[in-house]
Amino acid sequence: MVRCSWLFLLLALGCAYSKVPAVVDPGNGKVPVGLEAAICEAVGAVDSVSGEQLLGVERLDAAGRAIVSLEGIERLANLRQLYLGDNQVRDLKPLTDLAQLQILDLSGNQVQDLGPLSRLGQLTHLNLDNNQVNDLGALRGLTRLQVLNLENNRVADLGALRLLRQLHSVEASGNPLSSEAVNALRNQGVQVSFYRPGIRFVDARLEGQVRGALKKPSGDLSEEDMLVITALTVTQGVRSLDGLERLKNLVKLSIFATQVEDLNSLGKLLKLEDLQVNNTQVEDLSLLAQLLRLKSLTLINNHIADLTPLAGLRLLERLNLDDNQVADLSPLAGMNRMAELSFARNLVSQLQPLVRMRRLEVLHLSGNQVQDLSPLQNLSALNELDFSANQVVDLTPLGGLGGLGVLYFSQNQVADLTPLAGLADLLRLRCDANLVQDLVPLLGLTKLKSVDLRKNPLSPQAIAEQVPALEARNVRVQR
């Protein structure tokens, strides 16, 4: 004969065993109170119960009893129906040998791993609602399964269920499933219930702008809605980008004048080709390293110093880093497709990383600390160059850049314009606030339309002869 309760539970349960019961945890001599009480009720024990009676238990209702551990339940070897809803069960290993189980309810627990259920080949009904399950692989061999409840879990793939020929009903609402995954099972004749709760954004202003893009001012937002949007502008007032990661088909995203401090939500937007993040509090670009399709990136007026995360973005053709705190351009060295690059008003002193950008057409670097232009001397595709407000003295490296049409170098220390004499396509020139005296090198530039010479110590000859000569060719001269 077997005792129905331990000494410290005698009064609480009102039943007694003559020996330690078969469901005792051998490690500490105890079974969780809720599970023990349910077993006592199942056998109808008042005084004592035999091992034979325990083996006779075919149905056990232990729902809502604050059960954490199932240790010992394996002794009820003939269980066919087991109800464990609304407990705190995480580990299902004690169920492994309950080979007769046909109905199992584990709803409202903390289950993640379904591995121990893989041997329960007699299961016809399984309820896993409100757990933490993300992998259904262990159910692949449960060929008698007819009804499966999965509501509110983390399941993204129903593939493991497609070989279960007797399965006819699945409740899958509240899981991160795609329509394709659900429809694949429905196409096999399985009745799949699937409702996804409406998507909400942490930041109400961001949600409003998403709704604006969808032209859907009210009603639930669905995953399908999120996939419709390919372009979005996020403007003033937005503080959090949380939820933006759902817009997986975004190709163009513009973020302007917000209080956003991080770009964490952008890491999964793998289709992005055009990204603008201007006038924000952003410092860290780490998440952008995953956006390998980016072709255009604008990061004006942020708090960016480190460009290392951009090093792998080899498809970039346009990059604007104006008004940041960048000193080192080394991470850009491999960007051989770059056509337009701007890093005005930063802390750059060395241009060596640009030496292989042979496709570069537009380069703006005003307001830095550059002295040496020699890394630019072979960038023959350059059409527009602005290095105003730097520390340049020598223009010699520009002498071979015959394609230059626009050249600005205000506020430097240039005295000699001779290297410009061969720039036959030059249209506009700004060299105000330098040390220029002689304009002869400009007289042969027949395409020149405008030149700014203000704040230069022009020689009397330049003023009396060279400026009038330019003006006679309809060149607009400011001096």
Q: Quickly tell me which residue has 């259920």 as its tokens.
A: 117
SS3 274: strand
What pLDDT, on the 0 to 100 scale, is given for residue 46? 57
Q: Quickly tell me which residue has 């201007």 as its tokens.
A: 278
From first to last of the 479 residues of the chain, give the pLDDT tens digit.
334 543 222 223 333 332 223 333 333 434 445 787 788 788 876 555 567 777 889 999 999 999 999 998 998 999 999 999 999 999 999 999 999 999 999 999 999 999 999 999 999 999 999 999 999 999 999 999 999 999 999 999 999 999 999 999 999 998 888 888 999 999 999 999 988 777 889 999 999 999 999 999 998 888 889 999 999 999 988 999 999 999 999 999 999 988 899 999 999 999 999 999 999 999 999 999 999 999 999 999 999 999 999 999 999 999 999 999 999 999 999 999 999 999 999 999 999 999 999 999 999 999 999 999 999 999 999 999 999 999 999 999 999 999 999 999 999 999 999 999 999 999 999 999 999 999 999 999 999 999 999 999 999 999 999 999 999 999 999 99
- For residues 226 and 222, give the distance between their C-alpha atoms in angstroms, rounded to a whole number: 7
Q: Quickly tell me which residue has 């339940």 as its tokens.
A: 73
Mark residue 396 as left, alpha or beta (left: phi above 0; alpha: psi -120 to 50; beta: remaining).
alpha
SS3 460: helix
Instruction: Give the distance between the most distant pair of CA atoms in the chain.
Output: 124
- Choose among 118, 122, 162: nearest CA to 138: 118
What pLDDT, on the 0 to 100 scale, is given for residue 462? 98
SS3 54: helix
Cβ proximity of 407 and 387 under 8 Å: no
CA distances in angstroms from 326 to 295, 313, 347, 374, 471, listed in the order given = 20, 17, 6, 20, 41
- For residues 298 and 379, give the distance between their C-alpha atoms in angstroms, rounded to a whole number: 22
- 211 sits in which H/E element: helix 204-214
CA distances in angstroms from 338 to 151, 348, 359, 373, 411, listed in the order given = 49, 18, 6, 18, 27
Q: Name all domains of the chain by residue range, CATH numbers in brackets.
A: 1-57 (no CATH), 64-193 (3.80.10.10), 203-304 (3.80.10.10)
Please write the tens of the pLDDT for every residue from 163-194. Answer: 999 999 999 998 888 888 999 999 999 999 98
Side-chain-side CA neighbours of residue 118 (13 Å): 10
What pLDDT, on the 0 to 100 scale, is given for residue 28? 40
Please write the tens of the pLDDT for every residue from 10-29. Answer: 223 333 332 223 333 333 43
What pLDDT, on the 0 to 100 scale, is given for residue 219? 87
- 472 sits in which H/E element: helix 467-472
**Residues whose CB is less than 8 angstroms from the CB of residue 145 and which lie 6 or more positions away in sequence, other chains included:** 123, 124, 125, 126, 139, 164, 166, 167
CA distances in angstroms from 14 to 11, 40, 62, 124, listed in the order given = 5, 10, 18, 35
What pLDDT, on the 0 to 100 scale, is given for residue 280? 93
**Residues whose CB is less than 8 angstroms from the CB of residue 471 and which lie 6 or more positions away in sequence, other chains included:** 477
Amino acid at position 395, single letter: L
Residue 340 phi, psi dihedral angles, 5° rounding: -135, 125
Q: What angle do CA 401, 406, 411 make, to 5 degrees?
A: 100
SS3 342: strand
Q: What is the DSSP string of 250-273?
A: -SEEEEES------GGGTT-TT--
Q: What angle do CA 306, 331, 315 make, to 5 degrees?
A: 115
- For residues 322 and 259, give the distance between their C-alpha atoms in angstroms, rounded to a whole number: 19
39-46 contact pairs (CB < 8 A, 24+): 39/76, 40/4, 40/5, 40/13, 40/15, 43/4, 45/4, 45/15, 45/17, 46/14, 46/15
- 192 sits in which H/E element: strand 191-193
- Choose among 409, 344, 356: nearest CA to 381: 356
> What strand order describes the sheet that includes 191-193?
59-61, 81-83, 103-105, 125-127, 147-149, 169-171, 191-193
What pLDDT, on the 0 to 100 scale, is given for residue 1? 36
Q: Say if pTM beats, i.e. exceeds, 0.85.
A: no
Q: What angle do CA 149, 153, 158 make, to 5 degrees?
A: 65
